[in-house]
Amino acid sequence: MKSALIMFRNKVKGFLGSNKVKEFALVGNKRVILTTSAFKEFFKKPVEKPEDLKDKTEFSVTGDEYKDDKVSKYFIGYCLQKRLCDWPKEALDESEEGYKLIVLDTKEKKGTSTKLSKSWGEASEAFSKAENTENAILILTHSNKRWYKVSGKKNPNGLYTDAFTALADYVQTFKNYSGPLMSEKDAEFYMEDDAQTSWKEKLQKIDGILDGKDEPLA
């Protein structure tokens, strides 16, 4: 994680303080770990130009940095659309195959997920009907996490930024994607030491079964 953060810093620091309108996010283990908004807003000393970004610049994490940050919300929505990040299980049920209708209330900053038919025709018809009656942003998705239809306007680059923001608000109600993750443990990375310990335990279990200990060998 430390190496990834340093590489991310080195990649983006040349753009800090420049006139180029570019933002970046670091993604790992299907999570948005850090965005360039953090450099400008959340360091104790704001990082506005490359020389401000030092190895030991203090970072004060509250856990809610992304809740009111538009750029971070764009990244969260974009990564969910491109399947670079995982949905909270409560927000999108993958256990039952079929189309899902996500209704995002931008005023209340909440949403709902409704199971639709497995039929594309029926799901598309349901989306169109909801689009005419719901005062909300709609996403027609699937248990495979692909997006098939989105209501609302696109920005000049063809991105559904309004939908991204509304979707970020929705997933944050499940205590997901509300702030940066600054450790492997927080990001739930499966570290090499953990993997070795896990395999040792499994091999011991298998040895016990073959020796007639523990459960009988079926």
Task: Annotate 110-151 with DSSP letters as a single string.
Answer: EEEEEE--S-HHHHHHHHHHHHHH-SSEEEEEETT--EEEE-
Give dist(CA 77, CA 184) in Å, integer: 23
- Residue 190 located in a structural domain: no
pLDDT at 130: 93
Total domains in the fold of the chain: 1
Give residue-wise pLDDT tens across range 82-127: 999 999 888 887 778 899 999 999 999 999 999 999 999 999 999 9
Question: Exposed e or buried b for every residue in 189-203, given b needs 16+ CB within 10 A?
Answer: eeeeeeeeeeeeeee
- Residue 198 located in a structural domain: no
**pTM of the entire structure?**
0.80
Give dist(CA 25, CA 11) in Å, integer: 11
- Residue 129 located in a structural domain: yes
- Residue 102 located in a structural domain: yes
The domain of 166 spans 2-184
Q: Is the pLDDT of residue 56 over 90?
A: no
- Residue 93 located in a structural domain: yes
Give residue-wise pLDDT tens across range 154-169: 888 899 999 999 999 9
- Residue 20 located in a structural domain: yes
- Residue 141 located in a structural domain: yes
Give residue-wise pLDDT tens across range 167-195: 999 999 998 999 888 778 877 776 666 66
